[in-house]
Structure 1
Amino acid sequence: MDIQYWLSLFAEQAQQTSAVEWVAVIFGVTEVLLARRNHILLYPAGIISTVLIAYIMFDSKLYAEALLNAYYLIMSVYGWIHWARRRNEPALPITHTQGKEWAVVVLIAGLGWAVLYGTLSHYTDAHYPTWDAWVSSTAWAGMWLLARRKVENWLLLNLSNLFAVPLLFYKALPMMACLTIFLFIIAVLGYFDWRKKAVKTVRNREFS
């Protein structure tokens, strides 16, 4: 592997990065940092980042990822309202995914991919419908687990991130790729943190 070539390619792409992409990355990083502090301002930061990323993805003909970010926008607005109303109430316990829940995950990822791929390949000018659909469908499955506070949500989200990074680099969106790498790292940390909390939940139930 020619590291010098990839570094020079990244530098070249970074110089061509639009102001919109830079702003989206800044607010995306801000959202993650605020989320780790459990601060409600993560939602307005996330809304700004999501709107801009949806525009960038649509402009790059990654329509499934644009749709995914539109969903993120809806969930951010919902989360902001829900947090403001119930932030003093205890959250759902963090637990592991069980058998029937895995069946739902497979259904969401599989059916979601089939629907997105069929739509993108037949009704749009998407450049990479197979890959684009897979990134979004696995993220949908991960978000379903996240809403249910399941440890394995981080695994599904990182499966999506793993495929998204090379796609974003190939589409000459290096800052979006770097943001996704950053999210990948945060998701790895989140997985181990939630796994510890899930063990604690089980122990509390055993002694209650």
Structure 2
Amino acid sequence: MNLHPWIQLFTEQIQQTTFWEWAAVILSVAEVLLAKKNNILLYPTGIASTLLGIYVLLIAGLYAESALNGYYLVMSIYGWYHWVKKRDEPPVKVSWCTRREWVITLLISFAGWAILYVLLKNFTTSNVPLWDSWVSSTAWAGMWLLARRKIENWLLLNLSNLFAIPLLFYKKLPLFGLLTIFLFIIAIAGFYEWWQIWKKDKADREASPLGGDLEGVNQ
């Protein structure tokens, strides 16, 4: 297989990358590293990267991805508030989804996919409406779970990443494509790290004099 044409194409795409795409990618990398470390600073960093991402994706004609970034903006503000809550309350604990949260997650994924597809197909010039809408709807679900500090957020985000990688290269956004590959790897590590946080919290609760009573309070 001759890789030279592909390398040349990738080099040309990198050379054509704008300052705004570079800035959005750098901030996104910082955001996901902060998320992996369970650090609340992921939200202000994410807000900045999201605003730049909306601009870049609109120019590229990825309308659902751009709308997804608008959703990220709203969910980042919501998540920031949800993590902090009131000063006299404990922070939200890392936990697994309840059955009700799984139902909401699936509704966001599949209902969002259908709605976005209809909108893109009928009201935009998108040439990838089915793919673009699926990437966005699964990421919506993952972001909702991230805001609630649910471990499964990494699974939904990686499902979205898996489909987003070829889509972004197809739309000549190589830095965003490489960023998504990076995010895919980080999400695997993030899932493991959050799982360890949950296991430690569970062990601490079981070792507490109140035992399992604390578990209900923290969920």
Which deviates further from its counterpart, 164-173 or 9-18? 9-18
Per-residue deviation, 1:107: 1.3
TM-score scaled by length of structure 1: 0.87
Q: Tell me what 2:114 maps to.
A: 114
RMSD: 2.4
1:190 alignment partner AA: G
Per-residue deviation, 1:147: 2.4
Aligned residue for 1:97, secondary structure, equals coil
Q: Name structure 2 gaps, 5 residues minimum.
A: 212-219
TM-score scaled by length of structure 2: 0.83
> What does the per-residue CA deviation read over 1:96-122, in whole Å, with 9 as the maximum and x for residues that have no partner?
224333222221111000000011101
Partners of 1:83 and 1:39 lie apart in 2 by 10
Q: Tell me what 1:169 maps to.
A: 169
2:102 alignment partner AA: W
Given that 2:84 and 2:91 are in contact with CA atoms closer than 8 Å, whether structure 1 keeps it comes out as no
Q: Tell me what 1:133 maps to.
A: 133
CA 99–138 in structure 1, closer or farther in 2 if over 3 Å, else same: same
Given that 1:95 and 1:201 are in contact with CA atoms closer than 8 Å, whether structure 2 keeps it comes out as no
Q: Tell me what 1:188 maps to.
A: 188
Matched, 1:6 2:6: yes
Q: Tell me what 1:149 maps to.
A: 149
Partners of 1:42 and 1:174 lie apart in 2 by 24
Partners of 1:84 and 1:195 lie apart in 2 by 21
Partners of 1:75 and 1:127 lie apart in 2 by 27
Q: Name structure 1 gaps, 5 residues minimum.
A: none
CA 109–40 in structure 1, closer or farther in 2 if over 3 Å, else same: closer
Q: Tell me what 2:65 maps to.
A: 65
Q: Tell me what 2:53 maps to.
A: 53
Structure (1 or 2) with the larger CA radius of gyration:
2
Per-residue deviation, 1:143: 1.7
CA 82–94 in structure 1, closer or farther in 2 if over 3 Å, else same: closer
Per-residue deviation, 1:85: 6.5
Partners of 2:149 and 2:81 lie apart in 1 by 18
Aligned residue for 1:197, secondary structure, equals helix
Which deviates further from its counterpart, 185-194 or 32-41? 32-41
Given that 2:53 and 2:66 are in contact with CA atoms closer than 8 Å, whether structure 1 keeps it comes out as yes
Given that 1:64 and 1:132 are in contact with CA atoms closer than 8 Å, whether structure 2 keeps it comes out as yes
Given that 1:13 and 1:174 are in contact with CA atoms closer than 8 Å, whether structure 2 keeps it comes out as yes
Which deviates further from its counterpart, 147-156 or 126-135? 147-156
Per-residue deviation, 1:89: 4.9
Per-residue deviation, 1:39: 5.4
Aligned residues: 208
Partners of 1:198 and 1:150 lie apart in 2 by 10
